[in-house]
Amino acid sequence: MMPLHRRNIPAKEDDASDDVRKPEPQVSIQKKTDVSAPSKSKRSRLILLAIANFLFLGFVSTKYKFKSTSQLTAILATAQLMFIPSLLSLAIGVFDMSSSALPHQRYIPLAAVGTIVGNLLPSYLSSALANLAIVIFGLSSRPLPKKDDEVVQTQQKSDFLAGPLGTVLAAFVMTTMLLIENFCIWVVSATYKASQNKETLPAPLQDNGQLIMRYFFTSVMEVSKKEVVKVRNKINVEWILVSGLGLAIVALEMDGGRMKRSLWGVGKRALYTLGIARGIRTFSFLITVLPSQNPKCYFSHFPTPPPDEWIPWIVEGFVPQANGGCNDLIVSGHATVTSTLACMVTSVVGEPLFTAAIWMFVTMDYMVEVYEGFHYSVDMWLGAILVNFIWNTLASVENSANRRQELAPKKAFIPLQDATISDFMKYSVPAVGSYLQLNGIIPNDYANYTIILYFLAVAYRISKIGFEQYSQHSLICVLFLAIGIYV
């Protein structure tokens, strides 16, 4: 810009050329400033992360009484590996200031770290907070009423057939598969006679993965199984994934347009992935029966001997096997659920570092699962590989819903502050039922019946008034319930 004292003086040809050239140094200086500022900011973030890492290792070193330098080295190295996924999630959530990043790409990684902190709370309190969050989301996602326009109604009907209805059908298929699998767990255990007689108990197969884990924890780190499980429970990878799932649902519902992803498309893909994986798992353990790693497993899970009459025998098959069965091996049910959640959450976030962090969390969880003897190493490995293969194969399931999401107008919601007491009570009913079942106030033996009751209630409501947001809220509550029971 021309200096103020020269604005009224006619510019000479040289002056004009000078005026054109003068801003150039300023632009270059500005560019240098813009380049140097992010580098300084990045340096400061790395320093803060390094300090956090140093404090964590310092805490670990003072927490345990070390017998030798080798034990200290092994524990600190393991602690460092365990802390890396938390550090990556924290870095993305707090320090990733990319202008192209959407809010959920920061909030979901932060939720992973927050969940670890929340796991220090009693289970009844943490599940209450989770259910409260579901209620708040339900109230916040109530759409503004639309005018009765024939074109709009036709479009909504088309969207319904491609979106909500398809996802509800996928949920029905997945739930049916879980109930069939639950019954087959009883069938394969009841018909494996060798495990029902203490004199003929089959020896478990050799699991080299478990032998390595036991040697590392027992001989190298010199820690007990109780301590290993305690650390695993404090991290609680399952609830890290569930919290990520919750925020992913919120992001897809509230901001699906900018993400160019549909809640119904992603949900349908995840439900079919889990349903197909559980179907393959059920077929696998039915055709090849492996002995349990715990030879006395049957006596702590099922009635001895199995009922002779058909009705009690069949009824026993509907008791939820939330803690797993005995011979439902080859593909881990735990791995199919956690891997499906990991695939969904990481695909919604779309950050490579967060994807690495989540799969590091999942790998650590699987290693402890093998170490405890609940599954063979191959069960966990095949579960993760199988789910990733199915998830990527079903990518096209999302396409039609995502195309509609891109063309759909921006959603408008009723503000949360406009919710009345009656609204809060209405949305609390399915969440309270979920809470009562998860915390054992309703006996765990009735969990399958509770899930079926939820689905029947939603199906009845849809048949009477069509699919609307409250039905969506009820399905989210039953999803939370099913994950809490079976994960």
Please tell me the distance from the alpha carbon of residue 331 to that of residue 375, in angstroms, as a whole number: 9
Two tokens, residue 153: 């109604």
38 versus 145: which is more confidently predicted? 145
Q: What is the pLDDT of residue 355?
A: 94
Q: What is the pLDDT of residue 11?
A: 43
For residue 21, is pLDDT > 70?
no
Please tell me the distance from the alpha carbon of residue 393 to that of residue 333, in angstroms, as a whole number: 20
Q: What is the pLDDT of residue 163?
A: 66
Q: How much is the mean pLDDT over the chain?
A: 80
Q: Please report which helix (H) or strand (E) contains residue 315, including its range.
A: helix 310-316
Half-sphere exposure of 78 (CA within 13 A, CB side): 21
**Rounded to 5 degrees, what are φ and ψ at 413?**
-120, 155
* Reported confidence tier of residue 399, pLDDT bands at 50, 70, 90: confident
| Structural contact between residues 392 and 238, judged by C-beta atoms closer than 8 angstroms | no
Please tell me the distance from the alpha carbon of residue 487 to that of residue 239, in angstroms, as a whole number: 9
Please tell me the distance from the alpha carbon of residue 328 to that of residue 284, in angstroms, as a whole number: 9
Q: What is the pLDDT of residue 42?
A: 61
Nearest partner of 246 among 341, 169, 171, judged by Cα: 341
For residue 334, is pLDDT > 50?
yes
Q: What is the pLDDT of residue 106?
A: 81
pLDDT-wise least confident of 78-82, 94-98, 217-221, 262-266: 94-98
* Reported confidence tier of residue 385, pLDDT bands at 50, 70, 90: very high
For residue 240, give the 3-state DSSP assignment.
helix
Find tokens 């096209």 and name the residue.
396
The DSSP result for 349-365, as a single string, is H--HHHHHHHHHHHHHH
pLDDT-wise least confident of 25-34, 331-340, 418-427: 25-34
Which amino acid belongs to residue 355?
T
How many other C-beta atoms can be found within 10 angstroms of the C-beta atom of residue 373?
17
Q: How confident is the model over 159-199, as pLDDT tens digits?
A: 555 567 888 888 888 889 988 999 999 999 999 988 888 88
Q: What is the pLDDT of residue 269?
A: 94
Two tokens, residue 276: 């197909």
93 versus 12: which is more confidently predicted? 93
Segments in 323-420 forming alpha helices (H): 333-349, 352-372, 377-393, 399-407
| Structural contact between residues 478 and 172, judged by C-beta atoms closer than 8 angstroms | no
Report the pLDDT averaged over residues 310-321: 86
**Rounded to 5 degrees, what are φ and ψ at 409?**
-65, 160
The DSSP result for 430-477, as a single string, is HHHHHHHHHTTSS-GGGHHHHHHHHHHHHHHHHHHH-S-HHHHHHHHH
Report the pLDDT averaged over residues 120-128: 80
Q: What is the pLDDT of residue 58?
A: 73
The DSSP result for 248-316, as a single string, is HHHHHHHHHHHHT--HHHHHHHHHHHHHHHHHHHHHHHHHSPPPPSSTTHHHHHS-SSPPSSHHHHHHH
* Reported confidence tier of residue 26, pLDDT bands at 50, 70, 90: very low
What's the Cα-to-Cα distance from 265 to each of 165, 442, 478, rounded to whole Å? 11, 33, 19
The DSSP result for 163-178, as a single string, is THHHHHHHHHHHHHHH
336 versus 255: which is more confidently predicted? 336
Two tokens, residue 117: 């902190």
Q: What is the DSSP letter of 22?
A: T
Report the pLDDT averaged over residues 59-64: 68
| Structural contact between residues 263 and 249, judged by C-beta atoms closer than 8 angstroms | yes
39 versus 66: which is more confidently predicted? 66
Two tokens, residue 428: 């609390």
What's the Cα-to-Cα distance from 156 to each of 131, 161, 255, 384, 396, rounded to whole Å? 30, 9, 19, 37, 22
50 versus 158: which is more confidently predicted? 50
Report the pLDDT averaged over residues 36-53: 64
Q: How confident is the model over 219-258, as pLDDT tens digits?
A: 888 888 888 888 888 888 988 898 888 888 888 887 776 7
* Reported confidence tier of residue 4, pLDDT bands at 50, 70, 90: very low
Percentage, residues of the chain above pLDDT 90: 25
